[in-house]
Amino acid sequence: QSALTQPPSASGSPGQSVAISCTGTSSDVGAYNYVSWYQQHPGKVPKLLMYEVSKRPSGVPDRFSGSKSGNTASLTVSGLQAEDEADYYCNSYAGSNNYVFGGGTKVTVL
Protein backbone atom coordinates (compact mmCIF):
# COMPACT_ATOMS: atom_id res chain seq x y z
CA GLN A 1 0.00 0.00 0.00
CA SER A 2 2.68 2.49 -0.99
CA ALA A 3 1.49 5.88 -2.20
CA LEU A 4 1.44 6.49 -5.93
CA THR A 5 4.19 8.84 -7.13
CA GLN A 6 3.27 12.28 -8.41
CA PRO A 7 5.52 15.28 -9.07
CA PRO A 8 5.17 17.76 -6.19
CA SER A 9 4.54 20.66 -8.51
CA ALA A 10 3.70 21.66 -12.07
CA SER A 11 3.06 24.98 -13.69
CA GLY A 12 2.01 26.67 -16.89
CA SER A 13 0.87 29.98 -18.28
CA PRO A 14 -2.77 30.68 -19.04
CA GLY A 15 -3.82 28.90 -22.21
CA GLN A 16 -0.98 26.39 -22.04
CA SER A 17 -1.23 22.69 -21.19
CA VAL A 18 0.14 20.93 -18.15
CA ALA A 19 0.43 17.19 -17.65
CA ILE A 20 0.61 15.46 -14.28
CA SER A 21 1.96 11.94 -14.00
CA CYS A 22 0.95 9.29 -11.48
CA THR A 23 3.21 6.28 -11.24
CA GLY A 24 2.24 3.11 -9.45
CA THR A 25 3.02 -0.55 -9.84
CA SER A 26 1.75 -3.61 -11.67
CA SER A 27 -0.45 -4.25 -8.62
CA ASP A 28 -2.41 -1.02 -8.81
CA VAL A 29 -2.22 1.41 -11.75
CA GLY A 30 -0.88 -1.23 -14.12
CA ALA A 31 -3.41 -3.85 -13.09
CA TYR A 32 -6.69 -1.98 -13.28
CA ASN A 33 -8.31 0.74 -15.37
CA TYR A 34 -9.65 2.23 -12.15
CA VAL A 35 -7.56 5.36 -11.88
CA SER A 36 -9.34 8.51 -10.74
CA TRP A 37 -8.22 12.11 -10.30
CA TYR A 38 -9.28 14.75 -7.77
CA GLN A 39 -8.91 18.52 -7.67
CA GLN A 40 -8.67 20.28 -4.33
CA HIS A 41 -8.59 24.03 -3.91
CA PRO A 42 -7.13 25.41 -0.65
CA GLY A 43 -9.49 24.87 2.26
CA LYS A 44 -11.98 23.03 0.06
CA VAL A 45 -13.21 19.47 -0.30
CA PRO A 46 -11.70 17.27 -3.03
CA LYS A 47 -13.68 17.09 -6.26
CA LEU A 48 -13.77 14.11 -8.63
CA LEU A 49 -12.30 15.12 -12.01
CA MET A 50 -11.79 11.83 -13.79
CA TYR A 51 -12.64 8.17 -13.24
CA GLU A 52 -11.81 4.90 -15.00
CA VAL A 53 -8.68 6.60 -16.35
CA SER A 54 -10.34 8.89 -18.89
CA LYS A 55 -14.01 9.37 -18.08
CA ARG A 56 -15.20 12.80 -16.97
CA PRO A 57 -18.12 13.23 -14.57
CA SER A 58 -20.88 15.52 -15.68
CA GLY A 59 -19.87 19.16 -15.31
CA VAL A 60 -16.12 18.68 -15.63
CA PRO A 61 -14.80 20.67 -18.61
CA ASP A 62 -13.33 18.74 -21.52
CA ARG A 63 -10.10 20.69 -20.93
CA PHE A 64 -9.35 17.90 -18.51
CA SER A 65 -8.29 14.56 -20.00
CA GLY A 66 -6.81 11.36 -18.66
CA SER A 67 -4.72 8.52 -20.00
CA LYS A 68 -2.69 5.53 -18.86
CA SER A 69 0.28 3.61 -20.14
CA GLY A 70 1.62 0.68 -18.19
CA ASN A 71 2.07 1.63 -14.55
CA THR A 72 1.73 5.37 -15.17
CA ALA A 73 -1.44 7.40 -15.49
CA SER A 74 -1.58 11.02 -16.55
CA LEU A 75 -3.94 13.96 -16.21
CA THR A 76 -3.65 16.74 -18.78
CA VAL A 77 -5.15 20.17 -18.30
CA SER A 78 -5.39 22.01 -21.61
CA GLY A 79 -6.11 25.71 -22.02
CA LEU A 80 -4.95 26.38 -18.46
CA GLN A 81 -7.12 28.87 -16.56
CA ALA A 82 -6.56 30.74 -13.30
CA GLU A 83 -9.17 28.62 -11.52
CA ASP A 84 -7.21 25.47 -12.35
CA GLU A 85 -4.63 26.46 -9.75
CA ALA A 86 -5.12 23.75 -7.13
CA ASP A 87 -3.77 20.49 -5.77
CA TYR A 88 -4.39 17.38 -7.85
CA TYR A 89 -4.43 13.82 -6.54
CA CYS A 90 -4.58 10.52 -8.38
CA ASN A 91 -6.08 7.39 -6.92
CA SER A 92 -5.95 3.78 -8.03
CA TYR A 93 -7.78 0.63 -7.10
CA ALA A 94 -5.22 -1.83 -5.74
CA GLY A 95 -7.26 -5.02 -5.55
CA SER A 96 -9.14 -6.67 -2.66
CA ASN A 97 -11.19 -3.50 -2.15
CA ASN A 98 -8.06 -1.47 -1.36
CA TYR A 99 -7.21 1.93 -2.77
CA VAL A 100 -4.15 4.15 -2.83
CA PHE A 101 -3.75 7.88 -3.42
CA GLY A 102 -0.83 9.73 -4.92
CA GLY A 103 1.08 12.29 -2.91
CA GLY A 104 -0.48 15.20 -4.77
CA THR A 105 0.69 17.79 -7.29
CA LYS A 106 0.36 21.53 -6.78
CA VAL A 107 -0.47 23.20 -10.09
CA THR A 108 0.46 26.86 -10.39
CA VAL A 109 -0.87 29.11 -13.14
CA LEU A 110 1.90 31.57 -13.91
Partner 1 sequence: EVQLVESGGGLVQPGGSLRLSCAASGFTFSYYWMSWARQAPGKGLDWVAHIKADGYEKSYVDSVKGRFTISRDNAKSSLYLQMNSLRAEDTAVYYCVRGGQPGGFDYWGQGALVTVSS
> b vs e for 21-44, b when ≥16 Cβ sit within 10 Å of the residue's Cβ?
bbbbeebbbbebebbbbbbbeeee
CB nearer partner 1, residue 49 or residue 77: 49
Among 68, 77, 84, 104, binds partner 1 (CB under 8 A): 104
CB nearer partner 1, residue 35 or residue 77: 35
Between CA 105 and CA 40 the distance in angstroms is 10
> Does residue 74 belong to the site contacting partner 1 (CB under 8 A)?
no
Between CA 21 and CA 33 the distance in angstroms is 15
CB nearer partner 1, residue 8 or residue 13: 8
> Does residue 89 belong to the site contacting partner 1 (CB under 8 A)?
yes
